[in-house]
Structure 1
């Protein structure tokens, strides 16, 4: 045992993060249940975190966060005891009595907006306790983004107004500015539509009662991002707007741009649509959580396989579904047709590049030559190309 206690193990972060979080959460709850004193709780927490004694490390920050929770619980327990001995009756008396002294007891930011609102006990919200501990292991950029999003959530419309009235803001769809402020994914289709649109984006909301609101003038994208050049155009605008709101994310956005560009340049043209789907998934994944940056490219491997491989689950799910009519008699020549969705008569570009992953029956476009409209790809066409006049 002496050898183990004297062994100098100083990992870079918090080792066994999930186990440490559970230990600390249990210790906080035990202190709330009055199973031991605050001094004992502090000692046990320091022992539970491997790097708690390393000055300036993630463990020290995590331990400090736990101590703040203990302070809050200690204060709440003391207030509860005071109310139990008669403090509650005094606090219910009119303001003319001794109630004035009671109003100054709480300095919590949760009480600033409404002093009469009952304070929620964060110690009973286990995810809040865990977040305080986990935040010590996050990058400074993630911590800063989270702080700003929490602040913006107080009044997102006000934040949007300050951006739109700023002399430095760029032209960008209002709906997507609001998405950035709320920490939501940006619609690249709306961005590229706005890039070439000459119409004004005007929206207004009408309330018809019972909490039901109707949105008028909502812009539906008329252009979709389907090629590398279109993605670059849209992403340039997205990165600029995001960095305007979160300047500390510039490096993250540039690393992600280079990551996607590497996928484009290392893949055949017919894979580019899959890359665009992958990009949409990765951005949705990143905004759906608060512990992941777009620059964490090494964590995207399973999504790459799912979207880019021919047998990837996400890619197969995104392909158009075709009804099987062979079991209902008549085969493909029977009446009623076979495809579950309408096929386009436009020649398939990937078929003409000899790279279409779908067959004639499953592809959304016609597998015909773009020059002569016969059943062969363009490189095999014997008809001479038309000479422009």
Structure 2
């Protein structure tokens, strides 16, 4: 007879508020999203077994071991790790994972190189897409449009600011990987992220990259309504670059 201390406590799932919300909402996922959700639930029920089976397949694509966990769990893949792995020939820092009577030997892929260009991203996205579609074949119609979406921003934005496109990509994939009701092709849901990372007023934009070193003409005319931290131009004197307006400059004689 089991003692009180050895009994396993079982949670009352009827008290999970998210299940109640799902039951009364009446909201349904698209066929693609529902299939993705079901596959993720199936894979993560025993992630180790699912990964062992996948890596035992004769058709498994080359992909960093640690990132397979993210793929099967529906999480955001670390593209820098994929990129670094694609350039590496090292086989050290290996780890062994056991399943049943079998063992798999893996090389740990630490991102020693980072994606920095449009070309880097396109190459890495191709590798990642093949891995994702190996586990989720139906997602081809989601991943291909996303490639075109990000590539379009690379084409539209100056090379000096391609790092902002890379940050946008990371933010979108992190967002999609943390929820169940959005695909990478749902571009209308990413507008606020586009603003954050690509627009001049976006919070993720480093102000120093967008600000001019020139003095603010409006400030010197006493017509600028912006705070110094908000203005694109420096709030300094046009004559001596001091912290005052041109009209208050002690060196203004001889200047008009």
Task: Give the TM-score taking structure 1 as reference length.
Answer: 0.47
Unaligned runs of 5+ in 1: 1-91, 94-115, 207-215, 320-356, 360-389
Structure 1 residue 272 corresponds to structure 2 residue 162? yes
Q: 1:176 to 1:121 in 2, by over 3 A?
A: same
Q: CA deviation at 1:244?
A: 0.5
Measured in 2, the distance between the counterparts of 1:317 and 1:170 equals 42
The aligned counterpart of 1:314 is: 204
Q: CA deviation at 1:318?
A: 11
The aligned counterpart of 1:226 is: 116
Q: 2:47 aligns with which of 152, 156, 161?
A: 156
The aligned counterpart of 1:257 is: 147
Structure 1 residue 237 corresponds to structure 2 residue 127? yes
Answer yes or no: is the 8 Å Cα contact 1:135–1:143 preserved in 2. no
SS for the counterpart of 1:204 is: strand
Measured in 1, the distance between the counterparts of 2:25 and 2:208 equals 35
Measured in 2, the distance between the counterparts of 1:135 and 1:247 equals 28
Q: 1:148 to 1:133 in 2, by over 3 A?
A: farther
Cα distance per residue 1:164-196 (max 9 Å; x no partner): 110111110001111111222111111111111
Answer yes or no: is the 8 Å Cα contact 2:66–2:108 preserved in 1. no
Answer yes or no: is the 8 Å Cα contact 2:66–2:109 preserved in 1. no
Q: CA deviation at 1:242?
A: 0.4
The aligned counterpart of 1:147 is: 38
Measured in 2, the distance between the counterparts of 1:234 and 1:318 equals 30
Counterparts of 1:131-146 in structure 2 under 5 Å? Answer: 131-133=22-24, 136-146=27-37
Measured in 2, the distance between the counterparts of 1:288 and 1:135 equals 22
Q: 1:261 to 1:194 in 2, by over 3 A?
A: same
Q: 1:302 aligns with which of 192, 195, 205?
A: 192
Unaligned runs of 5+ in 2: 98-105, 210-231, 235-256
Q: CA deviation at 1:309?
A: 1.6
SS for the counterpart of 1:226 is: coil
Structure 1 residue 289 corresponds to structure 2 residue 193? no
SS for the counterpart of 1:315 is: coil
Measured in 1, the distance between the counterparts of 2:196 and 2:176 equals 17
Number of equivalences: 199
Answer yes or no: is the 8 Å Cα contact 1:306–1:314 preserved in 2. yes
Measured in 1, the distance between the counterparts of 2:79 and 2:96 equals 24
Measured in 1, the distance between the counterparts of 2:35 and 2:63 equals 24
The aligned counterpart of 2:79 is: 188
Measured in 1, the distance between the counterparts of 2:25 and 2:177 equals 18
Measured in 1, the distance between the counterparts of 2:34 and 2:208 equals 35
Counterparts of 1:52-91 in structure 2 under 5 Å? Answer: none
Answer yes or no: is the 8 Å Cα contact 1:264–1:275 preserved in 2. yes
Answer yes or no: is the 8 Å Cα contact 1:201–1:219 preserved in 2. no
Answer yes or no: is the 8 Å Cα contact 1:192–1:225 preserved in 2. yes
Q: 1:315 to 1:136 in 2, by over 3 A?
A: same
Measured in 2, the distance between the counterparts of 1:204 and 1:135 equals 46
Measured in 2, the distance between the counterparts of 1:225 and 1:144 equals 31
Q: 1:134 to 1:164 in 2, by over 3 A?
A: farther
